[in-house]
Amino acid sequence: FFFFFVSLFFFFFLLCSTPFCIDMGRITGVKAAPKVCSKTSAAPRRPFEKERLDAELKIVGEYGLRCKKEVWRVKLTLAKIRKAARELLTLDDKDAKRLFEGNALLRRLVRIGVLDEQHMKLDYVLNLKVEDFLERRLQTQVFKLGLARSMHHARVLIRQRHIRVRKQVVNVPSFVVRLDSGKHVDFSTTSPFGGGRPGRNKRKKLASAADGGDE
């Protein structure tokens, strides 16, 4: 009996000292690995530079952006693309990495409509501007196609799920429209502007008008 109690004591001691316990089929007490996320925007190093502040304010008003963080997000994307292009330009013209990654980068930029097919060279990537990427936003495309009265109206239409790209309803104003999808941007089939069900206020007016006619 002595050995039985000793072994039972050690069993409970090991069970209580384990860093986790099984509860309802789930393992608790074990910390998950930290999620590593890359930055989507980078604040400027000089926050009070007058020329940059005026330029960003002009861009925000021209493209109907919500805040300057949307400008910084595009700037960071452009900086990463230009950095990749500069690194590839340092390699030899016949280098396998430059041929493979360079062509992939150029095809991606042509596909989203930022670069022309006549300018499919890494040298032209260094000449890209923030405005080139902002022109491909869904908000800008909706206004350019005449579906909205202004940039701000286009943003409201997108957020209220009135706009679709092909058959998919998109409610993100910063959605990048590809070159082959530009002609498929239109009102959603469920939207009142696209022949769908009338809105809440319209239905109220129609109901009140019908009640008045019955009286």
- 25: alpha, beta or left, given left = phi > 0 and alpha = psi -120 to 50? left
pTM as predicted: 0.77
Judge contact between 136 and 149, C-beta under 8 A: no
Query: pLDDT tens for residues 141-153?
Result: 999 999 999 999 9
193: DSSP letter:
G
For 169, list phi and psi in degrees, rounded to 5: -75, 125
* Alpha-carbon span 137 to 6, nearest angstrom: 72
At residue 131's C-alpha, the angle toward residues 87 and 140, to 5°, is 130
Q: What are the tens digits of pLDDT across the range 26-80? A: 445 455 667 777 888 889 999 999 999 999 999 999 999 999 999 999 999 999 9
Orientation angle between helical segments 50-63 and 68-89, nearest 10 degrees:
110
